[in-house]
Amino acid sequence: MAASDDWKLVFETVADYETSIRKFRSQSTSLEILLVNVGHISAGLSSGYFALATEAHDDDGCPHTLEHLVFLGSESMPHKGVLDALANRVLARGTNAWTAEDHTCYTVTTAGAEGFCSLLPVYLDHILFPTLTDSAFVTEVHSVNGEGDDVGVVYSEMQGRENSADCRGWLALMRALFRGTGYDSETGGIMANLRELSNAKVRAYHRQFYRPENLTLICAGQMTPEQLFEAVEPVQARVRAAKAAGRYGEWRRPWTSPVAPALDATHEETVEFPDDDDASTGKVLLGWRCAPFGDFQRLTEWKVLWQYLTDSAVAPLQQALVQLEEPLCNSVDAMHMGAVVSANICALDGVVGERLVDVGAAFFAAIDRVVTATDPDDPLYFDLARMHTLVQRERAKRRDNIELDPHEAFSGPAIEDKLYADADARPHTALSHALREDERLARCLDASRQHWLELLEQLRADRPHVEVRVKPSERLARDMQAEEAARVEAQRERL
């Protein structure tokens, strides 16, 4: 049987700017390939985003540790560095990966389709059949060296991140917004858990999530479907043999459990982070539960509305919080977090400790003023003409992104579709709508001023939200330093 006979076209559409999108599924393994043909604007580059839905309900860091261990060799090529050496031979920009709360993605970009297809089976073999040896775990994740110190690449990385203002604040925000779900876990792993983590647990996590049903190969460039089918066939054969041998247990799709109920009251919390000076600046994080996955028009509207509120010195929140003789904070940034039920998040950075309470109140006072202002000369009056300018600018930016980096532009919607779309929905209506951002932006131009003000009503102080104040603490820094020194000394004595 020819390799192509196993693959079925399950979805096809033309996305923004006449970009061809096709999804194929293997009938024997359920592996998926999403092919983005971007034509002449790809400048001869071929990119891969190999995405798996990963869900964790603890702080052990299995998703993050696997991201590291995958690159240390596969069962067919059990040597560290083989993947990157081959990537260099096909003029790749190297291999990379990231771990998010809800997925892990491995990436590569090569010069041309031929080099991409030659590297693809090797990369896929590392993802699905890594060695995961105990020796690799010791060097890459965590161990205790001859001096009694904790070492390991992953451990050292989290040692530098875990107690930062950003990480402590974000974890507190997620645990308030999404308590009891995978979103409230530290997928990077916290140090106390990494010290207890075993390679056996990492292997079990790999068996649970790193399987063909859970993997989508997002391939963008000038390759043909037949080239990809032929390239992955050696790994497909290994997967079929592994399935026949019972390697994979019962399959349960991640992110299908009910999300925690929406907030019914406002949650306020102060989180300390270790710092040498109590007078250092902290930050305030504000969060709201937002629209469910699939309401793409509403999510696009929130995206441009946050730009209206924060994008430049004339933006309302910049005027109210930053552009002052005595600023309440030095920056205002907002983001939208995609999830089963998404979230709006605003970060107020560079806040002096005694102003941490004031800046939250000032934020809500500014929102109230934007909603209620009737005088066009008021700096916080909602200006529909400025909103239209921002929408048109966003459309131009989208066009530029597709021309300069089309592979990146379409990978995000494809990954979210893998994570959250109804697996039984046909013909992939969620993905079809997600890929048409320009159409949604165009519809934003038809929205009335009253429509935008009604959206802003959801950010007022009386609506349930989370406010996390992240505060520097000299005392905490001293206490943590003393506790860590005592722990390490006890560890040395024990060894």
Torsion of CA 219, 113, 98, 308, to 10 degrees: -60
pLDDT for 429: 65
| 155 pLDDT more than 70 | yes
* Tokens, residue 16: 């923004």
Q: What is the pTM of this model?
A: 0.93
**Least confident window among 225-234, 240-249, 404-413:** 404-413
Mean per-residue pLDDT for 12-41?
85
As a whole-number percent, the residues of the chain with pLDDT over 70 amount to 96
pLDDT tens per residue, range 54-79:
999 999 999 999 999 999 999 999 98
Q: Are 128 and 50 in contact (CB under 8 A)?
A: no
Q: Are 295 and 495 in contact (CB under 8 A)?
A: no
C-alpha distances (whole Å) from 91 to each of 27, 110, 114, 118 are 33, 6, 11, 12
Measured distance CA(78)–CA(70) in Å, rounded: 11
C-alpha distances (whole Å) from 72 to each of 132, 142, 248, 333 are 8, 15, 22, 37
pLDDT for 42: 52
- Rounded to whole angstroms, the maximal C-alpha distance in the chain is 74
C-alpha distances (whole Å) from 97 to each of 3, 233, 402 are 28, 23, 22
Q: What does the radius of gyration of the chain's CA atoms come to, in whole angstroms? A: 24
Q: Indicate the pLDDT class of residue 425, thresholds 50, 70 and 90.
A: low
Stated as kind and residue range, the H or E segment containing 472 is strand 466-473
Mean pLDDT, the chain, as a whole number? 91
pLDDT for 408: 78
pLDDT tens per residue, range 303-313:
999 999 999 99
**Least confident window among 177-186, 312-321, 415-424, 463-472:** 415-424
Q: Are 113 and 39 in contact (CB under 8 A)?
A: no
Mean per-residue pLDDT for 167-172?
96
What phi and psi values does residue 314 have, to the nearest 5 degrees?
-90, -5
Measured distance CA(55)–CA(152) in Å, rounded: 23
Q: Are 165 and 455 in contact (CB under 8 A)?
A: no
pLDDT tens per residue, range 249-298:
889 999 988 887 788 899 999 999 999 998 899 999 999 998 888 888 99
pLDDT for 426: 47
Q: Are 415 and 218 in contact (CB under 8 A)?
A: yes
**Least confident window among 184-188, 384-388, 428-432:** 428-432
Mean per-residue pLDDT for 368-394?
96
* Strand, coil or helix: 140: helix
What residues are paired with 34 via a beta bridge? 23, 218
Q: Exposed, middle or buried: residue 9 (CB in 10 Å: 0-12, 13-18, 19+)?
A: exposed
Q: Indicate the pLDDT class of residue 421, thresholds 50, 70 and 90.
A: confident
| 200 pLDDT more than 50 | yes
pLDDT for 145: 93
Mean per-residue pLDDT for 336-347?
88
Q: Are 417 and 430 in contact (CB under 8 A)?
A: yes
